[in-house]
């Protein structure tokens, strides 16, 4: 039996009720009552016709008979609730068994009325069903709005957090040869690395913010050493090395996962895969992965950009020098990934170039030869 829309109520925003019953006179009576109650209604004489109508129209509530030709109302009820969970269902049936009523409620019915139905009672149940639907929808919208607001505020807080960190890092670099662009690039390279390694999204974001803090401990190194032109004495280099432990102390004890990662990076970015690094002489996987990543990208960026003690090397020369550190200085697995990431790293470098020379103008550039046979020059003092 096909569906038909019966006389729409005057209010165009009035709810639409689908009356499903195999007896046409019952449908007609119910539709008349609904119309008098201010609702629009449509009719369906079978479960199939009801599903067809629901598929093509927005229906707020269904009155559902149980005894129908073909699929019964009891059978089609769960499908209606599953496909249109916001449509309320009032069961109208001649079968007045408590067991059946309970079954209908468990299948998702909002109300259960036994024929003959009193029109006032039916309209009251319809009204209450529609009220419940409105509340559920309002509640869902409210929750969605709230979630949206929380998401936006979290993003704002994160941005403020990140800006605070960058400003702190900037404060430390005023006394150092590091450029703001180097700091930013280190974060972006590390982010790229973590993504390829399949880190969870929040940790990827954490390393982008944490990596720029790798040298924050330099704030505790005396100017006379940090800004000394030329080669450092052994004792001076020992002091420079403490920028790792100073940075770690500055960043220790935070509840923030990002700052905990920053601590690990500050402490571990001069450790070496073979255990000959500093400050703890950790080896292999005892060095936190984030610190092993930053060790690689920091040296790469230092070698391929102008520094106080050396002009930028062509990338192939920088890579040749770094290659010597594969498996000794650098984690060999990460080193292989590092090579596959070079196109992205070049793009990051091109998009974040160093500012023209004012970053370097404070100090005289001294020619310190970079040994192509070792990474020492990249390590000391320019890349500490
Ligand atoms: Fe650095
Ligand atoms: Fe360092």
Domain boundaries defined on the chain: 4-143, 176-379
- The CATH number corresponding to 176-379 among 1.10.1040.10, 1.10.3210.10, 3.10.20.600, 3.40.190.10 equals 1.10.3210.10
Query: Which residues are within 5 Å of ligand 1 (an ion), measured at CB?
Result: 298
* pLDDT(370) > 60: no
Helix axes 257-268, 289-303, angle to 10 degrees: 60
Q: Which ligand is nearest to the CA of 217?
A: 2
Q: pLDDT of 61-74, one tens digit each?
A: 999 999 999 999 99
Percent of the chain topping pLDDT 70: 86
Instruction: Measure 316 CA to ligand 2 centroid, in angstroms.
Output: 23
Q: Which ligand is nearest to the CA of 216?
A: 2
pLDDT, residue 71, reads 93
CA torsion angle 158 162 163 169 (round to 10): 160
Instruction: Measure 302 CA to ligand 1 centroid, in angstroms.
Output: 7
Instruction: Measure 376 CA to ligand 1 centroid, in angstroms.
Output: 15
Distance CA 19, CA 263 (A): 66
Instruction: Measure 214 CA to ligand 1 centroid, in angstroms.
Output: 7
pLDDT, residue 355, reads 74
Distance CA 353, CA 340 (A): 21
Q: Are 93 and 49 in contact (CB under 8 A)?
A: no
What is the rounded radius of gyration, in angstroms, for the C-alpha atoms of the chain? 36
* pLDDT(162) > 60: yes
State the average pLDDT over residues 186-201: 96
Examine the residue annotation and report whether 149 is marked as an active-site residue of this protein. no
Asked whether this chain's domains 4-143 and 176-379 adopt the same fold, the reply is no
pTM beyond 0.75, yes or no? no
The structure tokens listed for 229 are: 């032109």
Report the 10 Å Cβ neighbour count for 96.
Answer: 11
* pLDDT(347) > 50: yes
- If pLDDT is split at 50, 70 and 90, which confidence band does 167 have? confident
Report the 10 Å Cβ neighbour count for 337.
Answer: 15
At which residue do the structure tokens 């030329």 appear? 230
pLDDT, residue 10, reads 52
pLDDT, residue 363, reads 42
> What is the phi/psi pair of residue 290, to 5°?
-60, -40
* pLDDT(360) > 80: no
State the average pLDDT over residues 1-18: 62
Q: pLDDT of 133-161, one tens digit each?
A: 999 999 999 999 999 999 999 888 888 88
At which residue do the structure tokens 């292999």 appear? 284
Q: Are 177 and 363 in contact (CB under 8 A)?
A: yes
* pLDDT(369) > 70: no
Distance CA 230, CA 253 (A): 36
The structure tokens listed for 372 are: 């192509």
SS3 of 111, please?
A: strand
Distance CA 68, CA 255 (A): 63
Instruction: Measure 200 CA to ligand 1 centroid, in angstroms.
Output: 25
Cross-strand pairs, 43: 4, 19
Q: pLDDT of 218-276, one tens digit each?
A: 889 998 888 787 788 999 999 999 999 999 999 999 988 999 999 999 999 999 999 99
Q: Are 279 and 238 in contact (CB under 8 A)?
A: no
Distance CA 147, CA 102 (A): 36
State the average pLDDT over residues 41-68: 95
4-143: CATH topology: Rossmann fold (3.40.50)
Instruction: Measure 346 CA to ligand 2 centroid, in angstroms.
Output: 22
Q: Which ligand is nearest to the CA of 379?
A: 2
* pLDDT(371) > 50: no
* pLDDT(383) > 50: no
Catalytic residue among 218, 241, 249, 276: 218
Report the 10 Å Cβ neighbour count for 3.
Answer: 20
Instruction: Measure 242 CA to ligand 2 centroid, in angstroms.
Output: 9
Helix %, strand %, coil % of the chain (to 5) = 55, 10, 35
Q: Are 232 and 240 in contact (CB under 8 A)?
A: yes
**Is residue 63 within a helix (H) or strand (E), and if so which, with residue range?**
strand 61-64
Distance CA 23, CA 37 (A): 21
**Is residue 171 within a helix (H) or strand (E), and if so which, with residue range?**
helix 119-173
Closest residue by Cα to residue 64 from 105, 19, 110: 19
- If pLDDT is split at 50, 70 and 90, which confidence band does 175 have? low
Pairing state between β 40-44 and 4-6: antiparallel
Instruction: Measure 247 CA to ligand 2 centroid, in angstroms.
Output: 9
State the average pLDDT over residues 326-340: 95
Q: Are 170 and 184 in contact (CB under 8 A)?
A: no
Contacts of 84 (CB under 8 A, 6+ apart): 54, 59
State the average pLDDT over residues 274-288: 97
- Give a three-class secondary structure readout of 125-157: HHHHHHHHHHHHHHHHHHHHHHHHHHHHHHHHH
* pLDDT(102) > 50: yes
- If pLDDT is split at 50, 70 and 90, which confidence band does 127 have? very high
* pLDDT(81) > 70: yes
SS3 of 161, please?
A: helix
Q: Which ligand is nearest to the CA of 173?
A: 1
Q: Which ligand is nearest to the CA of 241?
A: 2
Distance CA 222, CA 18 (A): 81
* pLDDT(362) > 60: no
The structure tokens listed for 104 are: 């209908």
């Amino acid at each position: 039996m096909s569906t038909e829309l019966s006389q729409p109520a005057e209010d165009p925003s009035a709810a639409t009720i689908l009356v499903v019953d195999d007896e046409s006179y019952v449908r007609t009576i119910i539709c008349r009552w609904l119309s008098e109650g201010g609702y629009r209604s449509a009719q369906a004489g079978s479960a199939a016709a009801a599903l067809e109508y629901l598929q093509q129209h927005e229906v707020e509530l269904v009155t559902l008979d149980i005894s129908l030709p073909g699929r019964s109302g009891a059978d089609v009820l769960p499908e209606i609730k599953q496909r249109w969970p916001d449509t309320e269902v009032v069961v109208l049936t001649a079968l007045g068994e408590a067991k059946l009523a309970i079954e209908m409620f468990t299948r998702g019915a909002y109300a259960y009325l036994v024929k003959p139905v009193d029109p006032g009672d039916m309209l009251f149940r319809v009204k209450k069903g529609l009220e419940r639907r409105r509340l559920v929808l309002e509640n869902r919208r409210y929750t969605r709005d709230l979630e949206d607001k929380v998401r936006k505020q979290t993003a704002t807080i994160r941005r403020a957090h990140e800006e605070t960190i960058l400003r702190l890092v900037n404060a430390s670099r005023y006394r150092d040869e590091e450029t703001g662009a180097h700091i930013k690039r280190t974060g972006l390279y590390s982010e790229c690395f973590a993504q390829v390694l399949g880190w969870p999204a929040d940790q990827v974001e954490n390393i982008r913010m944490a990596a720029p803090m790798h040298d924050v401990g330099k704030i505790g190194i005396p100017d006379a050493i940090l800004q000394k032109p030329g080669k450092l004495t052994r004792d001076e280099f020992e002091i420079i090395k403490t920028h790792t432990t100073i940075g770690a102390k500055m960043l220790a004890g935070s509840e923030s996962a990002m700052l905990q990662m920053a601590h690990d990076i500050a402490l571990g970015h001069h450790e070496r895969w073979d255990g000959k690094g500093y400050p703890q002489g950790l080896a292999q996987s005892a060095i936190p992965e984030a610190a092993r990543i930053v060790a690689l990208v920091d040296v790469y960026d230092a070698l391929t950009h102008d520094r106080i003690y050396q002009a930028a090397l062509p990338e192939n020369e920088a890579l040749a020098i770094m290659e010597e550190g594969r498996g000794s200085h650098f984690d060999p697995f990460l080193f292989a990934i590092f090579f596959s990431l070079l196109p992205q790293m070049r793009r990051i470098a091109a998009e974040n170039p160093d500012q023209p020379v004012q970053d370097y103008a404070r100090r005289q550039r001294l020619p310190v030869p970079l040994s192509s046979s070792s990474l020492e020059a990249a390590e000391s003092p320019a890349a500490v």
